Structure 1
Amino acid sequence: MRTLKRILTATTAAIAFGGTAVAFTSAASASARDGVCDAGEFCYYYNSNNEGSVSDFTGSVADYGTTQPSCYDFKGPGAGQGLCIKNAAASVWNRSGQTVRVHYNSDYGGASQDFAAGAKGNLSSALKNQNASHQFNPSTRTNMSYGLYELSGGSITCGFDGYTSTPGRHEGIDIARGIGSDVHALVSGEVIYIARGANGGSGLSTISVYNSSLNKTVIYLHSAPRSALAVGQQVGRGQVIADEAWRGISSSSGAHTHVEMRLGRQTHAAKSVNDYTLDNPNPTSFWNSQGYNVH
């Protein structure tokens, strides 16, 4: 009887120990996305100065989502718990051991702020409550507004699907620096179409460059194609293909270069003005893959 009791006692202890072990393993597994800022994680805080609820990550996220139950949310106790984190964080703590870049837009686009390993602090005024994605160990990229001209001073004047007062949906990205600025090819490829146009509202110019390995066409509108540029010509990344102008624009004050990525081999840009259906996908991930920030 005493032997049976010892066996039962040992078995009970083993089960109890096993239960403890299982509970411990479960708790350890839950440390990922558990609202505690552990070593190896990048963490958002709902309030400034690392206060309020925490949302913790061990890798990059391109889109946080905006509705429960599918969005990434604040999980820790305190103000903000349970809310979706997109456009809702005020400070961070980077315990990941890598640089982490916070972006204004989803898909790692727009204004950004880098946090070195170990950094702890508030998001900038441009990103406080405007956080839409983050990237671990981001690659060094060139801003599109610099790459197009290979000079400083350029800026994006209208982003993809960025119309605010023009009817329709914008199919490309407008970048401006000044009339006469050299316009460089952002991606290499074959020139498959040129319309030289003329300055003024009825003289739209077009340069279409198709990259067969990517199976994508990059189209440049409104700038003046260089006289030597010809259909069938291969152009390299960074090669000057045009001068900034206002071809197809009613006023010289609106001079800019419209840059549009299209899937497949396309000779013409998609219609934007007075067209409310987008034909092109959001190009941010494409431009990122080519080494550009979309700003």
Structure 2
Amino acid sequence: MVTTRSGLKSAAAVLGASALLAGVGMGMASAPAHAATARNGVCESGEFCYYYNSGEAGSVSDFTTSVGNYGTDKATCYVFKGSGNGKGLCIKNNAASVWNRTSKPVYVYYNSNYGGASQKIAAGAKANLNSTLKNNDASHHIGAISTGSCKNSFGNPHTCAQAVTWAKNHLGSTSLGTGMCDHVVGLAYGWSSSGSSTAYVHWTQVPAADKHAGSRSVPAGGLAFFKGGSSGAGHVMLSLGGGQFASTDVGANGRYQAGHYNKTTIATIESSFGETYLGWTQPWFNH
């Protein structure tokens, strides 16, 4: 039998109607679950959420990642986004309770960059912040922070401590060049170059055993890497410890300024450079 084009359309219509009726008979299949949407003011599965009031009440501020500094400038700080009391306020030093909807423990810290007193919030738990942290929240970390230390076991001319001293001695310099981040961390460790063509390439070359993807707790001497940039070269900077880093192309305020070498933080690089943090590595160089 030859089926005409109109016959094909009719058959398709019948099949479509049958499928629709089948769906109605089954109550229609549920839509697939979607990943949480960060920063939309709704506390969804997979997120860590702050509330303005105790007892998980008031406006919500939701996160899918660790944040080392919430900021206090109303133009750039992390704010409460959900409806209710506190909406629009910076969350730093303004939160009273939390809900951890991630699968890991979350640590809330009194100081920025995961410093000072902390409170552990178990996976899935709701809690009021304790008397120390209530309205005194400055950062949070999803999952336990690495307690690793910088290793002096890669044949570098300088030790970790010597590299940190080199970096501190060069803070404020304007003679290290623009876009030379990977070269400069090599200089800090006593090399004439890093041995890699770009910071991102350097990251990809570091052995897995010496790489800590996603960890924002970087020991003094560790190398913090980012991906992105107009050419895809990424960025790298040297940890001074305590959440502070020495970086090329950074001004005295810690934000982007070509040709300058100063202190900054991971969060500031993310916002100022518009690059994505990858994690930190031991001082491994391609030599």
Q: TM-score, normalization: structure 2?
A: 0.43
Task: Work out which of the two has the higher radius of gyration on C-alpha atoms and give 1 or 2.
Answer: 1
Q: TM-score, normalization: structure 1?
A: 0.42
